[in-house]
Structure 1
C-alpha cells in the first residue's frame, strides 16, 4: 500500500515501486482505486478497463531478467458485480440490478461498502493460487491507496463490516481481508516531502496505523532537491559571507559578463537556497525520528514521464527497496 498527503506524489512513487519490484522475472500488479486513471497517464497507455493489463517491463535484475508490470483500475461498481457473481451466482440478474441503479446506490450510499469492495478486489489478486484457472499469479501487488487522511478508515472498514455481519460470505471475506492487511505480507508505505505539513501528516498517519494494528512500512521522501552547494558554501550563503569578487571572477572565467547586479542576484538566490536547505534538513531529522526505513527520491527537473519512472525505480532499488 502506498499512501501520502495529497500533492506528495504518492501515485508516482507507487508506479516506481511496481517497476522496481518487477525484476528477475517477477510479475507485479499495480492497482488504483481513486478513479482518476492516473496509471494510464503515467505509463502513456489507453484508459484502463476493469481488467488486468500488462503495461510495462520492469527493471532488469542482476541476472539480466526483467519482469512485467500489470495494471488494474478498480471501480466499485464493477467490483460489486463481480462479487455478486462469485458469491451469489446472480449472473444476468446482477446486470438487471445495474440497469435499475441498485449497484450505484449500494456503492455510493451504503456506509463502507465502496471501500470493502475495493480492498476485496486487491485481496483476491493477492490470494490467487493454482486453483484460480486462467488468472495471473503475482509476486507482488502494489496499491496506489487513498491519501493519509483516509487511509486508516479505508483499510479498517472491513473490521467494522465483520462486526456487523455475524455469518455468511460477507463476514468471511471481511475477516479474511483484515487478516491479510494485518499480516507481514502487507506494508503501508508513506510518501512525504521535506516540508512541515506533509511530515506532520506522515507522523500522525503512522500513529493511527499502529493504533489500528496495521503494518507500517517505509517512509518515501519524494522530490528531494539536489545538493548544489557544499556545506561550507551553504553556511556562508546563510550568513551572508559569500565572496562577491570571487563569484564575479568565476563568472568572467566562464565567459559571463558579471556586473554588480548579477552578482547580488546570485548571492540572494544562494541565500534563499541555503534557507530552504536548512528547513529541509530540519524536516529530514523529524523523518529520521519516525524510526522507519527511509528512502529518498530526487525531484525530476523535466517532470515525471515513463523515463522518469524508471529513474525513480532504479533509485529505489539502489537503496535496497
Structure 2
C-alpha cells in the first residue's frame, strides 16, 4: 500500500481545507514523530516561494535535531530552503525571554525583568501561575502570525506559522489556557494578550493537526484529543498517520497466515528459491512470523477505521526504514503536498 490521502466526511466550515490556514498547530502522542511531521509540513507550506516560521515551546530543541543545526536561540533563524525559493525559519520560544519581551513591550521594563530573572522571580511567577507561562508562549506565536511586513507581497512577515505543540494529553489545556486568564484578568495588558491569543486560536486562521500511529494507544489519545479540542471550540485540522508499513503479503495469504493455514510446502519452496535449505524448524519459524505480521496488519486496519471515524482529512507518511535525514524530510513534504494537505 502506498501513502495516499484519505478523507472522512468534511465538517462544517472545512471546505477551504486546513492547508489554507495561517497557523498550523501539530500535536501527537510522544513517539509518533510530531516534530518530524511539523517540520515536513513547514517545508511543504514554504514550497513555491513562501516564508514559514516553525516554532517549538517545550524547550527540548527537537527542531534543531531534525534540521541538524545548533540549538535554536530566542530569535528566528533560517534553517532550510524549500523548492521554488521558499524559506523555513525556526524559533524555540522561551517563557522567560517571552516575559522580558512582554515587559519591554507594555511597560518598558526589560532591564528590570532581567534583574527579576536573576533573583528567580520569573520562575516563581510562572510556577505559581502556570497559565501565565502558556499565555506568554502562545502570545509569541500569535505575534508571529499577526506580524506585518510591508516589504513582502503578502504584507505579513510569515505566510504561515507551524507550531510543534505539546503532546495530545496536554494540548487542549495549553491552547485554551488564555480562557482561564481572561476569567482572572478583567482588564489591562494581560487581558489584552489573552484576548489576542484567543482571537487567533479560535478563528479560521488556525488548524490543529494530530499525528498518530496505527496502534491502539496513539489512536485512542488522538480520539480523546479530538473530542477535547471540539469541546473547547478549537479548530481540528487533519490527522497524519505516520510510520505506515505496507503489508508484505496479499489479502488471501494474510488470511491464511492469521489462521495458521499457510502451505508449508510453498513456504519451503520459497526458502529454497532464496538459496537456503528449508529445514522444518525454519519453515515453522517463517509461518509464525507470517502469522504475527498478519495479526499486526489486521490490528492496523481496525485502528485505521477508528481514525477515519473522526471525520477529518487523513494523510499518511511511510516508515523511514533507514532513518530520517534531510532528503527524507523533503520527500515527506512532497507527499503532504501530493495528498493536498498543502495547496
1:56 corresponds to 2:80: yes
Judge which range, 23-32 or 247-256, deviates more: 247-256
- Alignment correspondent of 1:243: 263
- Alignment correspondent of 1:137: 157
Q: How big is each residue's C-alpha offset from its partner over 1:208-251, in whole Å with a ceiling of 9 and x where there is no partner?
A: 11111100011111111122111111111112221222222233
Moved over 3 A (4+): none
Matches within 5 A, 1:116-195: 116-130=135-149, 137-195=157-215
Match of 2:96 among 53, 63, 77: 77
TM-score (norm 2): 0.88
Instruction: Write the distance in 2 (CA, Å) between the matches of 1:88 and 1:136.
Output: 26
The Cα of 1:136 is off from its aligned counterpart by: 7.6
Match of 1:270 among 281, 290, 308: 290
CA-based RMSD:
1.8
Q: How big is each residue's C-alpha offset from its partner over 1:70-115, in whole Å with a ceiling of 9 and x where there is no partner?
A: 1000010010001111111113222222222222222233230110
Q: How big is each residue's C-alpha offset from its partner over 1:46-78, in whole Å with a ceiling of 9 and x where there is no partner?
A: 0010010001122x2xxxx14111100001001
The Cα of 1:22 is off from its aligned counterpart by: 1.3
- Alignment correspondent of 2:12: none
Q: Which of 1 and 2 has higher RCO (CA within 8 Å, sep 6+)?
A: 2
Judge which range, 166-175 or 209-218, deviates more: 166-175
- Alignment correspondent of 1:320: 340
TM-score (norm 1): 0.94
Matches within 5 A, 1:184-223: 184-223=204-243
Give 3-state SS (helix, strand or coil) of 1:255's partner: coil
Q: How big is each residue's C-alpha offset from its partner over 1:147-190, in whole Å with a ceiling of 9 and x where there is no partner?
A: 11111110111111112111122111211110110111100011
2:53–2:88: 8 Å Cα contact kept in structure 1? yes
1:13 corresponds to 2:37: yes
Instruction: Write the distance in 1 (CA, Å) between the matches of 2:228 and 2:79.
Output: 34
Give 3-state SS (helix, strand or coil) of 1:190's partner: strand
- Alignment correspondent of 1:90: 109
Instruction: Write the distance in 2 (CA, Å) between the matches of 1:4 and 1:303.
Output: 20
- Alignment correspondent of 2:66: 42
- Alignment correspondent of 1:257: 277
- Alignment correspondent of 1:105: 124
Match of 1:297 among 317, 333, 336: 317
Match of 1:2 among 19, 26, 39: 26
Instruction: Write the distance in 1 (CA, Å) between the matches of 2:104 and 2:321.
Output: 48
Judge which range, 241-250 or 7-16, deviates more: 241-250
1:285 corresponds to 2:305: yes
1:224 corresponds to 2:248: no
Instruction: Write the distance in 2 (CA, Å) between the matches of 1:319 and 1:290.
Output: 18
Judge which range, 161-170 or 212-221, deviates more: 161-170
Specify every segment of 5 or more residues in structure 1 that has no aligned partner in the other structure, as ranges. none
